[in-house]
Amino acid sequence: MKKTMAIMLLWCLGIGAAIADEVPQVANVLARQTFSLNGQWNYIIDVQEEGYYDYRMNPTQWGFFRNAKPQKPEDLIEYDFDKAPTMQIPGDWNTQDARLFFYEGTVWFKRTFDYHPTNNRRTLLYFGAVNYDAHVYVNGRKAGHHIGGFTPFNFDVTELLKDGENTVIVKVDNKRHAEDVPTQIFDWWNYGGITRDVLLISVAPTYVENYTLNINQDVRKKKGFYTIRFNAFLNKKEAGQIITLSIPELKVNEQLKTSDNGRASLSFAFPAKRLQLWSPDNPKRYRVEISLNGETLVDSIGFRTIETRGKQILLNGKPIFLKGISIHEEKPYGGGRANSTADAHTLLSWAKELGCNFVRLAHYPHNEYAVREAERMGILVWSEIPVYWTIAWTNPQTYSNAHRQLTDMIRRDQNRANVIIWSIANETPHSAERDQFLSRLAQHARSLDNTRLISMAMEVTSASNYKNRLQDNMHEYVDVVSFNQYIGWYRDVNDAPKMTWEIPYDKPVIISEFGGGAKYGLHGAKNQRWTEEFQENLYRENCAMIDKIEGLAGTTPWILKDFRSPRRVLNGIQDYYNRKGLFSDNGEKKKAFYVLKEWYEGK
């Protein structure tokens, strides 16, 4: 009875119901008026979820989110954020506190800061990503709740902030569950924490929440003109607002008026000879200014087309072979969640040195810095949501979660010219329930953005002796047929020259994964597992094999660098690392790097 009353009281105090409003994701956060909350945050490890219910406390002080302090000497409060250690945010807790290396559970974070809100402005509290389940409190009151470890979210906290000292407390829980996305089992490290930027965003009461600017691919280039399409979305349904689109270098200056739903659209013809299209060889971007009521958002946007024709992928109307590599969002040297432009630049520079014009950002949306840096460097991107392996296909909440992550991934990066593929899944076992789940995701992605291709990493399901046939009902819903294969790692490498492949669909083919493991510096015979020579020979045989696949339009071998994985336990070799990288976890090149580099040079 006492416990029930306590829970009811906690609900009344704001634990159960959000006081602030969660607002749709705000586009182009980097161009807005922001106040950074990055830096040192205090943290308390809460193994048994004491932060929500310590019945020995005064009822008015329950919960870590209250940040309570003793008011008189006899007060009993068994936590103190101000005496707790600090951790760098953004960052993962696994590599910043040795006690938390394998930890999956709850950690509470607290940041106190001075802030002076501006009159007639709204303030949004923005998180680039929190892994995985986040409850957010501002000055002891609940701002909101978010589930999903790799996409941004924000709350309107205007009414919760004070002029002067403020406190944000976040309960972060990275425990895995069967109904989650990703589900309980996955082959990467479950880095917990506030892993990306935390910002306060100042906005006008009415502001441009999101926008798209691209070449309308539904209208073919005619008589030397492209059709440019611009859409703007306000944060509220408000008619009559005047939005200005300016592209100074192209001498574009257009005004458009919002309709009753708070949206405005514009299409106009532009001479093709005056428009430099974005490509890996010429990653041209234009300064774009979007203005409303005297406030201007600035972006750098490239224009390009991407489509398929039979078994070819066409970039700007010309066939392209995607020379790619898969990448996990892990720091270049020694592990830990990557979270900066510098991290992204190092990883992408390694890909460029390999000869890549394309990267698969596996198996979840990577940091916005990574996508933007790839765009600047002229690297095409496959972006993916973590619908991975054995998802709970029949659970409505699981689908809703995946749907939300897909939406947020697209909303964030829909103006990045280098993103050419939205991927909806990886290595999912076949079933009618899976097909229904994934087909809905594919249709949703296409409804949000028809200027990019849809794909997913399939598995070869029909194999007889040395004949492999791809059969997947999802071929109807994707533009590019992609599949993973590990000849040489899960099957004898000597089988590679004997293999034949049949892909019975008139669509381009990407080999989304192939490869094998090697520990850097371990040498031996080419048939000795874990040696660099074994991996080198595996790559040589695989490159020769997949060269024969009809319609091959690209590859993204697995993987750029070694990455942490709790599934990889072989002492002295893996040591909780997946060793399939062409670089070691410390950035050293393995011999297979040079095999793939040479193969790409011939493409």
Q: Given this model, what pLDDT does residue 199 score?
A: 98
Indicate the domain borders of the chain.
2-203, 208-292, 308-601
**Residue 12 scores a pLDDT above 80:** no
What pLDDT digit, counting tens, does each position of 357-371 carry? 999 999 999 999 999
* H-run or E-run covering 299: strand 295-301
**Residue 264 scores a pLDDT above 50:** yes
The band of 2, judged by pLDDT with boundaries at 50, 70 and 90, is very low
Lowest mean pLDDT among 197-206, 358-367, 434-443, 496-505: 496-505
Would you call the peptide bond into 201 cis, given omega within 30 degrees of 0 as the criterion? no
The band of 531, judged by pLDDT with boundaries at 50, 70 and 90, is very high
Q: Given this model, what pLDDT does residue 1 score?
A: 39
Q: Which of 89, 109, 111, 112 is nearest to 164 (CA)?
A: 112
Q: Given this model, what pLDDT does residue 356 score?
A: 98
Average of pLDDT values for 256-277?
A: 95
The band of 51, judged by pLDDT with boundaries at 50, 70 and 90, is confident
Supply the DSSP string of 546-575, one letter for each residue.
HTTSTTEEEE--S-SB-EE-TT---TTTTS
**Residue 18 scores a pLDDT above 50:** no
Q: Given this model, what pLDDT does residue 463 score?
A: 64
Q: Given this model, what pLDDT does residue 262 score?
A: 97
Query: Alpha-carbon dihedral of residues 14, 17, 23, 25, nearest 10 degrees?
Result: 90
Lowest mean pLDDT among 319-333, 373-387, 416-430, 479-493: 479-493
308-601, CATH topology level: TIM Barrel (3.20.20)
Average of pLDDT values for 406-410?
A: 98
Q: Given this model, what pLDDT does residue 25 score?
A: 87
Q: Given this model, what pLDDT does residue 21 score?
A: 62
**Residue 297 scores a pLDDT above 70:** yes
| Percent over 70 (pLDDT), the chain | 94
What does the block give as tokens for 489? 């790692």
**Residue 182 scores a pLDDT above 90:** yes
Instruction: Tell me if 338 sits within 8 A of 367, measured CB to CB.
Output: yes
Instruction: Tell me if 325 sits within 8 A of 360, measured CB to CB.
Output: yes
Q: Given this model, what pLDDT does residue 10 score?
A: 43
The band of 7, judged by pLDDT with boundaries at 50, 70 and 90, is very low
**Residue 3 scores a pLDDT above 60:** no
Supply the DSSP string of 452-487, one letter for each residue.
SEEEEEEE--EEETTEEE---GGGGT-SSEEEE--B
Q: Given this model, what pLDDT does residue 221 score?
A: 62
What does the block give as tokens for 97? 């506190």
**Residue 226 scores a pLDDT above 60:** yes
Q: What are phi and psi of 231, to 5 degrees?
A: -130, 135
Average of pLDDT values for 178-192?
A: 97
**Residue 20 scores a pLDDT above 70:** no
In the three-class reduction of DSSP (H, G, I as helix; E, B as strand; rest coil), residue 342 is classed as helix
> How many beta carbons lie within 10 A of that of residue 84, not counting itself?
16
The band of 17, judged by pLDDT with boundaries at 50, 70 and 90, is very low
Instruction: Tell me if 578 sits within 8 A of 517, measured CB to CB.
Output: yes
Enter the DSSP assignment of 272: G
Please state, in angstroms and rounded to a whole number, the distance separating the CA atoms of residues 169 and 44.
11
Instruction: Tell me if 468 sits within 8 A of 458, measured CB to CB.
Output: no
Name residues whose C-beta falls within 8 Å of residue 464's C-beta, 6 or more positions apart in sequence.
none
Instruction: Tell me if 100 sits within 8 A of 94, measured CB to CB.
Output: yes
Q: Given this model, what pLDDT does residue 218 score?
A: 72
Please state, in angstroms and rounded to a whole number, the distance separating the CA atoms of residues 110 and 105.
17
With tokens 């990574």, the residue in question is 370
Q: Given this model, what pLDDT does residue 323 score?
A: 98
Pairing of strands 263-271, 225-234: antiparallel
> How many beta carbons lie within 10 A of that of residue 547, not counting itself?
12
The band of 63, judged by pLDDT with boundaries at 50, 70 and 90, is confident
285: left (phi over 0), alpha (psi -120 to 50) or beta: beta
Kindly report the average pLDDT of the chain as a whole number. Answer: 93
The band of 5, judged by pLDDT with boundaries at 50, 70 and 90, is very low
The band of 19, judged by pLDDT with boundaries at 50, 70 and 90, is low
The band of 24, judged by pLDDT with boundaries at 50, 70 and 90, is confident
What pLDDT digit, counting tens, does each position of 453-468 carry? 999 999 876 567 788 8
In the three-class reduction of DSSP (H, G, I as helix; E, B as strand; rest coil), residue 41 is classed as strand
Q: Given this model, what pLDDT does residue 53 score?
A: 56
Name residues whose C-beta falls within 8 Å of residue 483's C-beta, 6 or more positions apart in sequence.
457, 458, 459, 460, 470, 472, 509, 511, 512
Q: Candidates 2.60.40, 3.40.50, 2.60.120, 3.30.70; correct CATH number of 208-292?
A: 2.60.40
Structure pTM? Answer: 0.94
Please state, in angstroms and rounded to a whole number, the distance separating the CA atoms of residues 573 and 563.
13
2-203, CATH topology level: Jelly Rolls (2.60.120)
Query: Alpha-carbon dihedral of residues 385, 390, 392, 394, nearest 10 degrees?
Result: 100
What pLDDT digit, counting tens, does each position of 426-485 carry? 999 999 999 999 999 999 999 999 999 999 999 876 567 788 889 999 999 999 999 999
What letter represents residue 9's amino acid?
A: L
Name residues whose C-beta falls within 8 Å of residue 71's C-beta, 6 or more positions apart in sequence.
none
Q: Given this model, what pLDDT does residue 227 score?
A: 94
**Residue 62 scores a pLDDT above 90:** no
Q: How far is CA 549 from CA 358, 483, 523, 585, in A?
A: 19, 12, 31, 32
Q: Given this model, what pLDDT does residue 219 score?
A: 66
In the three-class reduction of DSSP (H, G, I as helix; E, B as strand; rest coil), residue 451 is classed as coil
The band of 512, judged by pLDDT with boundaries at 50, 70 and 90, is very high
Q: Given this model, what pLDDT does residue 4 score?
A: 39
| Percent over 90 (pLDDT), the chain | 85
**Residue 355 scores a pLDDT above 70:** yes
What pLDDT digit, counting tens, does each position of 567-600 carry? 999 999 999 999 999 999 999 999 999 999 999 9
**Residue 16 scores a pLDDT above 60:** no
The band of 13, judged by pLDDT with boundaries at 50, 70 and 90, is very low
Q: Given this model, what pLDDT does residue 14 score?
A: 45
